[in-house]
Amino acid sequence: MTEVSISGKVILGLEGLGKIVSNLRREGYSVIAPVFEAGVMKLAEIESADDLPRGVRDQQEKGTYRAEQIEGERDLFKNNVSCFSYKSFLHDPHLCVFKAKKDENGFTIEKPEREEKRFAFFGIRSCDLTAMSKLDDVLLQGDYVDSAYDDRRKPVMNIAVNCTTSADTCFCASMNSGPRARANFDLALTEIIDDERHVFLCEVGSDEGAKLLCGVPFEDAPDEDDRAADVLIVAAAKMQMRSIDTSGIAELLQRVQTSHRFEEIAERCLACANCTMVCPTCFCTNIFDVTDLTGDNAERVRHWDSCFTLSYSQLHGGSVRQSVSARYRQFITHKLGTWHDQFGGIGCVGCGRCIAWCPTGIDITEEMAVFRQLAAP
């Protein structure tokens, strides 16, 4: 590819999107995008921009997710977060840590080969971009680095999309993590549709992003288009019905740790761990041994884990967090409170997934509001 140097924003069309996808694929990237399958928007590899679904509308509410494709609608991105997040691609749900093989001297330990993968996330939203940098804080910035995550994370290309609509579960505006992509992207697109045009305002976020525009037909963006995009993004923020007041939130949660409210929540919580599986920032893992039938080959595997399981806090005398109330407390106080002490900032990006995918409709924004009230002097 030849160098393209761009300053400011440009306007491109559907053909341009197609070219960006093919440029990425030519560079060896798996292009991952939201696709409409079995009634949900899920993340999967696409071969061309034609695979991007048109006119999908999603409805997300407490314990509810519905998506449908509307005949005749042209838009690509007028919907919100996918059911699972991008963490599935970077922080493997299942990973072999090492293999051990018995031999006459004892056993030998072998590091497994791992296929190299380069992901481009096409259509990633601002909340998920922010979540990625939060996972970076956890897995890359400490004394020890999660090298499996690092291998996947380093080559990632992010082709972000600024949201022009919000689901009822979205509250990124109050978490300062959307709906506009502000960091961590290579390109950021805002979809603009009017009677004459279906175009994308494109902001370049990195040199690698600029290179992706090689061969893409584009024009410099006129100020009107920039303003039009702003209006759409601001409108998406204004649509949001939920929010969390984050002022003094860490100290506040510390004060309510022994509140009976946790027991009331526990009456509704099934400890199913759905919330932590769909959350883009939950990072906990369990590590255990699996042996084959001969007993000569052992594999140490790492799976996603959840603070909602009983075994998570197991000690030989029994688990520390026997009650579901203590497990919900661990979830919310970590996510919104102690994350500040550990990694700086808050552990929630307001994507709303935990609200939509909680089978009993437990809503983190609602619970937090109750705790704020309880803590009020």
Partner 1 sequence: MQQRSTIAPNSFDALIPETARVTSVRKETVDTFTMDLDRGFRFEPGQFNMLYAFGAGEVPISISGDPADSSRLVHTIRSVGAVTKRLEALRPGDMLGVRGPYGEGWPMAKARGHDIVIVAGGIGLAPLRPVIYHALRHRDDYGNVVLLYGARSPEDMIFESELHRWRGRFDMGVKVIVDRAPSSWRTHVGVVTTLIPKVYFDPIDTIAMVCGPEVMMRFVVREFQNRGLTEDKIYVSMERNMKCAVGLCGHCQFGPEFICADGPVFRYDRVRDIIGIREI
Ligand X SMILES: Cc1cc2nc3c(=O)[nH]c(=O)nc-3n(C[C@H](O)[C@H](O)[C@H](O)COP(=O)(O)OP(=O)(O)OC[C@H]3O[C@@H](n4cnc5c(N)ncnc54)[C@H](O)[C@@H]3O)c2cc1C
Residues that bind ligand SF4 (CB under 6 A): 269-275, 278-281, 308, 335, 348-354, 358-360, 362, 364
What are the C-alpha distances in Å from 111 to residues 102, 148, 301, 302? 15, 12, 12, 13
Please give the residue whose beta carbon sits closest to ligand X in the complex: 316
Shortest Cβ 314–ligand X spacing (Å): 4
# binding residues, ligand X (CB under 6 A)? 3
Nearer to partner 1, 223 or 341 (CB): 341
One residue of 141, 147, 314, 360 binding ligand X per CB under 6 A: 314
- Residue 348 in contact with residue 336, Cβ under 8 Å? yes
Residue 118 C-alpha from the chain's centroid: 17
One residue of 312, 331, 357, 371 binding partner 1 per CB under 8 A: 312
Cα 269 from Cα 324, distance rounded (Å):
7
Nearer to partner 1, 65 or 331 (CB): 331
- Residue 308 in contact with residue 273, Cβ under 8 Å? yes
- The answer to whether residue 259 forms part of the interface with partner 1 (CB under 8 A) is no
- The answer to whether residue 376 forms part of the interface with ligand X (CB under 6 A) is no
H/E/C letters for each residue in 280-318?
A: CCCCCEEEEEEECCCCCEEEEEEEECCCCCCHHHEECCE
Nearer to ligand SF4, 21 or 279 (CB): 279
- The answer to whether residue 315 forms part of the interface with ligand X (CB under 6 A) is yes
Residues 6+ apart with CB under 8 A from 158: 120, 121, 124, 129, 132, 184, 185, 186, 187, 205
What angle (nearest 5°) sits at the alpha carbon of residue 41, between those of residues 38 and 43? 105
One residue of 48, 69, 176, 286 binding partner 1 per CB under 8 A: 286
Q: Amino acid identity, residue 337? A: G
Nearer to ligand X, 48 or 314 (CB): 314
- The answer to whether residue 116 forms part of the interface with partner 1 (CB under 8 A) is no
Residues 6+ apart with CB under 8 A from 127: 81, 170, 172, 175, 177, 178, 280, 349, 350, 351
Binding site for partner 1 (CB under 8 A): 97-98, 100, 102, 105-109, 111, 133, 136, 138-140, 142-148, 150, 153-154, 158, 183-186, 205-206, 208-209, 254, 257-258, 283-289, 291, 295, 298, 300, 302, 305, 307, 312-316, 320-323, 326, 330, 334, 337-338, 341-342
Which positions touch ligand X (CB under 6 A)? 314-316
